[in-house]
Amino acid sequence: MARKPQASVELVEDPKVGSNLSAAQHLLAEHNMMVVKQHGDGLPYDRDRLINEARFYMGTAAEAMLEAGKRLVMIKEIEGHGEFIRICEERLGLSERTARQMMQAALKYLSPELEKHTDKLQHLGKAKLIELLAEDDEDLAALAEGGTLAGLELDDVERMSCRELRKALREAREDKTAQGRVMADKDAKINELSTQLARKPVVEVKPLDEQLQELRLEATAKAGAAEAAIAGALHPAVHLLMEHEVENDQRTFVAGLLAQVEQAIVEIRAEYSIDATPVASAVPAWMRDSADEEIAAALANQQQGA
């Protein structure tokens, strides 16, 4: 028979002795009634009955653990912590840790968020349900619906041992933590770079002569690299080929290589209408030795024309 959706119940402390004892007892009675209503399946609270039922369900598989855990919740809430521990140890043979795990499992897997998936999840067995207690309800629901958890499908979890499952979950948590650190470092680096960029002027325009000087230096470096490649790499390669020349076979091949290099230079000259030999000094006018005389003459001509 399908279980009714149950609201989550928070465990409360036993009332302390004081002037407000009656009010506290009244609140506790109301709380106990709510616990019995939520977990009692319509039956009144009977401690001995619940203990016997808990002992019965403990002898079966995961479903029994959840049913026993549900009854332990009621015993704990109504009997109080001290009496609950005594009942677990003396009448049920349970340690406090085991009892708490059973209660946590019942509250988790029989909650409204997971109750419709309980039938699938309980096939994993008691030990694996305990291992999965720390996982989010949304992730467990996705696992039951055919998704994955820590890269594992439900069939994978069912086939593997508890030790393997514990290792897979631990590694997944470690990976998630590591990814979080990487993302945090990445965000910090982006923020640092953004701050540095914000401190710089939006537009930084260099004087024209500085721009031309940088471009000339870059072009000179490229030309030097090309010349070095021809002299240091192409020339030795041609030399080796010519040492093994048979009639005109190598000369024809080398001629093709050189024509390829020359063609690249010819295309540059044609694109920009550049002469084969320099027709003017590449040194700027203001850097020439005669610059002062030329400037003086130009000023004199300007004054005469005025």
pLDDT (tens digit, 0 to 9) for every residue of the chain, 306 residues total? Answer: 344 445 455 555 555 545 456 777 778 878 888 877 787 777 888 888 888 887 666 546 688 888 889 999 999 988 888 899 999 999 999 999 999 999 998 988 888 888 888 888 887 888 888 888 888 888 888 888 889 888 888 888 888 888 998 898 888 888 888 888 888 888 888 888 888 777 766 666 778 778 878 888 888 888 888 888 888 888 888 888 787 766 657 788 888 888 888 888 888 888 888 887 776 555 555 556 665 666 666 666 666 665
Within a domain: residue 72? Answer: yes
pLDDT at position 4, please?
A: 47
Let me know whether 155 and 26 are in one domain.
yes
Whether the Cβ atoms of residue 96 and residue 75 lie closer than 8 Å to each other: no
Within a domain: residue 174? Answer: no
pLDDT at position 2, please?
A: 42
Residues whose CB is less than 8 angstroms from the CB of residue 214 and which lie 6 or more positions away in sequence, other chains included: 206
Among 53, 57, 107, smallest CA distance to 77 is for: 107
Within a domain: residue 279? Answer: yes
Radius of gyration of the chain from Cα atoms?
43
Its domain, for residue 255, covers 209-301
Q: How would you label 9-38 residue by residue, b for 16+ Cβ within 10 Å and e otherwise?
A: beeeeebeeeeeeeebeeebeebbeebbeb
- 3-state class of 152 per DSSP? strand
Among 108, 107, 96, 103, smallest CA distance to 132 is for: 108
pLDDT at position 202, please?
A: 60
Let me know whether 65 and 126 are in one domain.
yes
Whether the Cβ atoms of residue 137 and residue 108 lie closer than 8 Å to each other: yes
Long-range contacts of 282-288 (CB under 8 A, 24+ apart): 284/209
In total, how many domains does the chain have? 2
Of 128, 160, 192, which residue constitutes the final position of a domain? 160
Within a domain: residue 183? Answer: no
Whether the Cβ atoms of residue 142 and residue 149 lie closer than 8 Å to each other: yes
Let me know whether 142 and 27 are in one domain.
yes
DSSP 3-55: PPP-------PPPPSSTTHHHHHHHHHHHHHHHHHHHSTTPPP-HHHHHHHHH
Whether the Cβ atoms of residue 3 and residue 110 lie closer than 8 Å to each other: yes
Within a domain: residue 227? Answer: yes
Within a domain: residue 184? Answer: no
